[in-house]
A and B are shown apart, each in its own frame.
Chain A
């Protein structure tokens, strides 16, 4: 229990948690890049009907925006509150509301 209460231990854990969130953002931006590059190619190469690419890219972008919003909202709230508890009470497990 003591390890998690030290300042550095805490910072490392917080760093891991934030990098989880950032990793997710990297993945989502990868998906967006793939989709919109495909749309660009569909127009540039005149090879396949661009309608398919545009429709799919729009729908999937919309879906991923929802997913990203949910993840951001949940992650940031939980992490922030958790940090507040750590600063306030010396550990998220020590004491709790209600």
Chain B
């Protein structure tokens, strides 16, 4: 198994194994000026966000725009949005691995990193939203499992654990490659520890692949349960247009949707910045674009079902919320969401000629904006019109909430950048395995499908 052999860097032996993927080592070995500039700018945004949170911690949640009856606003929107994006890794990594799609090989790592990192921001936003974050331990010590928020806590913990394991296991052979490449220093020591003594022996390979296979199957139901449970926070109440049975599948579909879009954007940036055009090719963007197109149509189907049911039923409490979204205060949010979540992605992705790298990236950025707006239009208009219709309010988010949103994006990008400096962002051993073994395997598989 040449692919899993340790790598000794440019040299005679590694002319076969090493130098072809030399570009994947470059981010780890060298850091350009651009990295530091971007990192510094992002740190500035994070500092502003930290100051915003400090203000909120000191004075109370009053510095936000929330009021009565709109008790939840941007923080909960962020929470649902970030947990949604975390389905990136699950789809690409787990589903494509199980379905033996060979084109996944270069993109699994970047997707899995998104999944693990963004979960922290989902969790973080819920913590930021608490009135008394200093009492967080009460959730552990006095938690009541009757509450959907506790289901959230539990399923998020499970998902975080599972996806971290699922990121780490395929990382082990790559860490071993780095361990053998690096000169003496702290990083080499880190890699020594994390590589767990990987030597590419048959037994190690066998057990690792078995472990990855089990994890791929395990992480899927956990991922589905996570966003379903997030949707239950809303659908288990009796508020108009929250108490909807479609919320479970709707949120999961929306999560996969924003997850794929996030991967496409991440891949496009990595491709440009680290010159990975050979690994993130047109075909990858094309296939991801087709998956994104499928999810566009699925998202439209769910949204249409949800809204037409409300419109036809015309239940007085619900129809008030419905018209608030269609023609009222939140009409701009709703219609921009429809344009960015359906019209733009569909027109770009349905057409072969526009489903190239630039097209899919535009569609993906549009989808991410649209999905954030979708979460927002789910949370706020319902709260504006509670069942007893005498209490109403207007929600104007303040600088604190916007800063924290910007800070989340900035901090996520920063940690992602740090990850690319420590570990290869393309799964080296899987790509090599693909180069060496995949063709024969696929030919063999095809032979089993087709009649003799």
Please tell me whether chains A and B touch each other in their complex, using a CB distance cut-off of 8 A: yes
B179 x A82 contact (CB < 8 A)? no
Interface presence of B207 (CB below 8 A): yes
B196 A71 Cβ-Cβ under 8 A: no
Q: How many residues of B contact A (CB 8 A)?
A: 47
| Interface check B197, CB cutoff 8 A | yes
- CB-CB < 8 A to A34: which residues of B? 140, 143
Q: How far is the CB of A47 from chain B (nearest CB, A)?
A: 7
Q: How far is the CA of A48 from the CA of B151 in the complex (A)?
A: 14
Q: Please report which residues of chain B, range 184-237, place their CB below 8 angstroms from some CB of chain A when the two chains form the complex.
A: 184, 189, 192-204, 207-208, 210-211, 214-215, 218, 222
**Residues on the A chain within 8 Å of B155, using CB:** 60
Interface residue? A26 (CB, 8 A): no
Docked Cα-Cα span, A97 to B1, in Å, equals 8
Contacts of A78 in B (CB 8 A): 172, 196-198, 204, 207-208
Chain B residues with CB below 8 A from A85, complex form: 197, 199, 201
The minimal Cβ–Cβ distance linking B201 to chain A, given in whole angstroms, is 5
Q: Among A1, A56, A67, A75, point to the contact of B145 (Cβ < 8 A).
A: A56
Cα-based distance from A97 to B215 in the complex (angstroms): 26
The docked-state distance in angstroms from the alpha carbon of A82 to that of B201 is 9
Stretch at the interface among B157-165, B381-389, B396-404: B157-165
Q: Please classify the interface of chain A as helix (H, G, I), strand (E, B), loop, or mixed, using the class held by over half of its residues.
A: helix
Q: A85 to B195, alpha carbons, bound, how many Å?
A: 14
Decide if A92 touches B176 in the complex (CB within 8 Å): yes
Check if A64 sits within 8 Å of B211, measured CB to CB: no
Q: Is the Cβ of A71 less than 8 Å from the Cβ of B198?
A: no
A interface size (C-beta, 8 A): 46
Shortest beta-carbon distance from B151 to chain A in Å: 7
B100: interface (CB < 8 Å): no
In the docked arrangement, what's the CA distance between A77 and B199, Å? 11
Across the interface, name the chain A residue whose C-beta is closest to B139: A34
| Nearest CB of B to A54, in Å | 9
Output the nearest chain A residue to B151 by Cβ-Cβ distance: A56
Any B CB within 8 A of the CB of A66: yes
Q: CA of A49 to CA of B8 in the docked complex: distance in angstroms?
A: 60
Q: Which residue of B lies closest to A33 (CB)?
A: B140
Are B145 and A48 in contact (CB-based, < 8 A)?
yes
C-alpha gap A49/B161 in the complex (Å): 28
**Inter-subunit contact B215/A3 (CB<8 Å):** no
- Within the assembled complex, what's the spacing in Å between the Cα atoms of A49 and B144? 9
Known: A16-B193, A67-B162, A96-B5. A52 touches B145 (CB 8 A): yes
A91 to B92, CA, bound (A): 35
- In the bound complex, do residue A82 and residue B154 qualify as a contact, i.e. CB atoms below 8 Å apart? no
A81 and B154 form a contact (CB under 8 A):
no
Chain B residues whose C-beta falls within 8 Å of the C-beta of A74 in the assembled complex: 169, 207-208, 211
Contact across chains for A73 and B207 when beta carbons are under 8 A apart: yes
On chain B, the residues within 8 Å of A97 by CB distance are 199-202
- The answer to whether B199 touches A92, judged by C-beta atoms less than 8 angstroms apart, is yes
A98, CB-defined interface residue at 8 Å? yes
A6 at the interface (CB under 8 A from B): no
Q: In the complex, how many angstroms separate the beta carbon of B307 from the nearest chain A beta carbon?
A: 32
Which chain A residues lie closer than 8 Å to B73 at the CB level? none
Please measure, in the bound complex, the distance between the C-alpha atom of A74 and the C-alpha atom of B154, giving whole angstroms.
Answer: 25
Rounded to whole Å, the gap between the CB of A29 and the closest CB of chain B is 13
Beyond A79-B196, A85-B199: 17 further Cβ-contacts under 8 Å?
Answer: A13-B192, A35-B154, A42-B144, A48-B144, A56-B154, A63-B158, A63-B218, A67-B161, A67-B218, A74-B169, A77-B204, A77-B208, A78-B198, A78-B207, A81-B201, A82-B196, A97-B200
Chain A residues in the interface with B (C-beta under 8 A): 1, 3-4, 13-14, 16-17, 20, 27-28, 31, 34-35, 38, 41-42, 47-49, 52-53, 56-57, 60, 63-64, 66-67, 70-71, 73-75, 77-79, 81-83, 85-86, 92-93, 96-98
Could you show 7 A-B contacts with beta carbons less than 8 Å apart?
A34-B143, A64-B158, A71-B211, A78-B197, A79-B197, A82-B198, A85-B201
Q: Which 6 residue pairs across A and B have the least CB separation, nearest first? A: A82-B197, A92-B199, A48-B146, A74-B211, A53-B145, A77-B207
